[in-house]
A and B are shown apart, each in its own frame.
Chain A
Amino acid sequence: MERENKENILKKSNEEKRHFLDLKKPIGWLFTYCGLILSVYGLLTGKDFYAKSLGININLLWGAVILVFGIVFLVSAYARKKLQD
């Protein structure tokens, strides 16, 4: 009982102090979007497109890195929310 009370108080003070908007979401969405279109564009472009980048398909490679980065942010934002509910 006492413990529950304590948790409630803790939850409430967290609620009050909770920042306005979970920044992890817009960061996650932005980079998931960028990563996605970069990797798809990378898949659609041929090798001669990458003469500048020393023959490396930088769009596909770096797009994938950014995609993972974005997804990690999304997962951490939404997983935490689910845990709280």
Chain B
Amino acid sequence: MDPIVSLNFIDYAIIGGYILVIMLVGYALKKYMRTGEDFFLSGRSLPSWITGLAFLSANLGALEVIGMVANSAKYGIATVHFYWIGAIPAMVFLGIFMMPFYYGSKVRTVPEYLKLRYNEATRGLNAISFAIMTVLMSGISLYAMALLLKIMLGWSLTGSILFAAVVVLLYVFWGGLSSSIYNEVIQFFLIWLGLLPVVFLGLKQVGGLAGLGTRLNDSLLHAWKYLGSSNNPLGVDWAGVVLGLGFVLSFGYWTTDFLVVQRALASRDINSSRMTPIIASFPKMLVPILVVIPGLVALLVLPEFSGASGQTAEYNSALILLMAHYLPNGILGLAITGLLASFMSGMAGNITAFNTIWTYDIYGTYIKKGKPDSHYLQMGKWATVFGIFISIGTAYIVKSFPNLMDYMQLIFSFFNAPLFATFLLGMFWAGATGWGGFFGLLSGILAAATHYLLYKTGSIHYSSEMAANFYQAWWAWLTDFVVTIVVSLFTKKRRPEELKGLVYSLTPRVHDHKYLLARPELWGSVALLVALILNIIFW
């Protein structure tokens, strides 16, 4: 099969320039990596604009962008739910209420918080499942990248996999989390500057937003209007969107996933760490410009989607086909660099989260305790190397058994869904006990698995796959919540002194920043207000 686009020397000059810059950044950071904290947490020294943009970019991977353009072509403007209700409230909540515990308690990882608040077993369950998930995830995205480059540019699978792996390996090995974060910020600008031309040219051709409004079916143009029943393109009603996506999935991901929380922990002080997710929430609200507009334009412009060619639409190719449709060589290279950057920084993010959890929560806890800091720094570097090797191995396994990809993602969702209940109770209810936390989390995971089996065997029925996902998350959360409370009532409580700094009622309030304009509460409220207004405009 012929590749979709062909690059020329200008495109390669841009890709090459990007690779050169990130390698130089990684190499320049090498000499600052003196302690474990430098390597794993950037010495807790970064300003909040950097951690904020990295917080957002860690989630703006290429698969995410391509998938959300596809969703927009399928579901229309309702895709904004993944960005507005599905992210903003959780990000603001993390910044205002949860960061004081994460940052203030000086924990280095999310599982470490679980150890302090609950017990060793709870930490182990979370740390081990998270470490396995992240490293496999990194392999999956490595394969997805190689596949995309093969289809789009005709590059060889092995060549792409090895090249990306070596680049990521080198810069993470040299600069640790800082390399990863710096890359995410560069990627943030690259993906916007690379994809905005597609948005502009698309809008120009279809006659602007007004043109989209008159030429598309009304059901694709509203976020909420058709959610009264599940009879809409999304196949989910408003309760599923609010409870499943807006509450459980969104809070579960944004407030407990170490991949994103690690960025806030790298901030230079508690106020910056609280501002990190709140700063990220503003560009997050704008991401629909990059994904929803191209999705809608694809429906009108591409023959594959408008039904003119008689083929069935492969939604995931929408963004790639649009790039091929609008971008001449030159600007095309920039857009490809944007995608490449988001693949590589996505992988680097997974690898840095993996090496941190591995070193602190698994190696430093169960294998070799109490070694000097320099030992763990070395371990972190080597964990980067074998993390990359496992990723490459996973990429090749997924290549031979593509179905595995779906199964892995499925299993990950079992582990993620209930976690927010454990954190919510841990941070806001002093009565939650160690074993309450452990059995709550475990039964939440089992509830998600059971729900999935019942759904697949036809015992429960939903109007769409997405509705099943949303409700599965909700039931897993509720199970965790109830079981944690019930078990806590029958097990031994921790003494209040031990929970100081870990639970809301037992922690002194953080002092407000002396300038009103630097307070997370102010900007968090602004973010919520803007999100509300956007929802009303696109009702």
Contact = CB atoms under 8 A, between A and B. Distances in A.
A and B assemble together: yes
Task: Tell me if B's interface is mostly helix, strand, loop or mixed.
Answer: helix
A52 B325 contact: yes
**Number of chain A interface residues as a range:** 20 to 34
Task: Tell me if A's interface is mostly helix, strand, loop or mixed.
Answer: helix
B330 A38 contact: yes
B331 A59 contact: yes
Given A20-B32, A37-B14, A58-B197, A26 B325 contact: no
B163 to A, nearest CB: 19
Interface string A33-65: 110011001100100011011101011001101
Interface in B20-55: 21, 24-25, 28-29, 32, 42-43, 45-47, 50
Given A20-B45, A53-B201, A27 B327 contact: no
Most buried by B among A33, A34, A45: A34
A18 interface: yes
B411 interface: no
B178 interface: yes
Contacts of A10: none
Most buried by A among B193, B204, B325: B193
A17 B268 CA distance: 7
Most buried by B among A19, A52, A59, A63: A19
B45 to A, nearest CB: 5
Contact of B327 (A26, A31, A41, A52): A52
B330 A27 contact: no
Contact of A41 (B50, B185, B186, B330): B330
Interface string B192-207: 0100110001001100
Contact of B29 (A20, A38, A66): A20
Interface string B148-189: 000000000000000000000000000000100010011001
Contacts of B331: 38, 53, 58-59, 62-63
A49 B32 contact: no
A34 B186 contact: no
Given A52-B328, A58-B331, A23 B201 contact: no
Contact of A30 (B21, B32, B268): B21
Given A27-B186, A30-B186, A41-B10, A20 B330 contact: no
A18 B50 CA distance: 13
B13 interface: yes
A53 B328 contact: yes
Contacts of A18: 45
B336 to A, nearest CB: 12
A56 B334 contact: no
B50 A38 contact: no
Contacts of A23: 50, 182, 185
Contacts of B197: 53, 58, 62
Contacts, number: 97
B386 interface: no
A19 B42 contact: yes
Contacts of A62: 193, 196-197, 331, 334
B18 interface: yes
B178 A30 contact: no
Given A19-B50, A33-B17, A53 B45 contact: no
A31 B189 contact: yes
Most buried by B among A20, A31, A34, A45: A20
Contacts of B201: 53-54, 56, 58
B326 interface: yes
Contacts of B328: 45, 49-50, 52-53, 58-59
A58 B325 CA distance: 13
A21 B25 contact: yes
Given A19-B46, A26-B21, A58 B327 contact: yes
A56 B327 CA distance: 11
B23 to A, nearest CB: 11
Given A17-B45, A19-B45, 15 more contacts: A17-B268, A20-B32, A21-B25, A27-B185, A27-B186, A27-B189, A30-B21, A37-B14, A37-B17, A38-B334, A53-B197, A53-B327, A54-B326, A59-B331, A66-B334
18 contacts: A19-B268, A20-B32, A21-B182, A26-B24, A26-B25, A30-B21, A37-B14, A42-B330, A49-B328, A53-B326, A53-B331, A54-B201, A54-B204, A56-B204, A58-B327, A63-B330, A66-B193, A66-B334
Interface of B: 10, 13-14, 17-18, 21, 24-25, 28-29, 32, 42-43, 45-47, 50, 178, 182, 185-186, 189, 193, 196-197, 201, 204-205, 268, 325-328, 330-331, 334
CB-CB nearest 5 A-B residue pairs: A59-B330, A20-B32, A30-B21, A41-B330, A41-B10
